[in-house]
Amino acid sequence: MSAFTLGQRVSWATLDELHRLAVSIPDEFGHSQTHKVWISQAEQGLPVSMAEPREGIVVGTRVLSNGRLQWNGYDEPVEYILTDTVTAVLVAYDLRRKPVVIPPHRVREV
């Protein structure tokens, strides 16, 4: 579990915020598979110079899922297959914006 408590003041860099992306990855047969993953902007290759420091308040923790979408044919529904999970801290930094999710190891206590 997380060492953070509800209402605790924390800081982080904007490049550490996690975002959900759909990524197309070919399988062993050459068919494209869509994967839905949580990835930080730093892992996407954005320059570190773009990082802004932010401060906010912890409002919870979340367990986020990474997985792939499996198409079973035209008559079958699409299946979401879980591949792994990511634990994140939910932090509010503005009254009019939604909270952000950040990996616990990238959040610092203020």
DSSP annotation string for 16-76: G-EEEEEEEEE-TTS-EEEEEEEEETTTTT--GGG--EEEEEEEEEEEEEEEEEE---TTS
What does each of the 110 residues of the chain score in pLDDT, given as a tens digit? Answer: 458 999 999 999 999 999 999 998 887 777 788 899 999 988 887 777 777 899 999 999 999 999 999 888 788 888 999 999 999 999 999 999 999 999 999 999 99
For the chain, the domains span: 9-109
pTM of the model: 0.82
Q: What is the pLDDT of residue 2?
A: 58
Q: What is the pLDDT of residue 1?
A: 46
**Distance from C-alpha of 20 to C-alpha of 66, rounded to nearest angstrom:** 9
Q: Name which of 33, 18, 19 is nearest 80 in CA terms.
A: 33
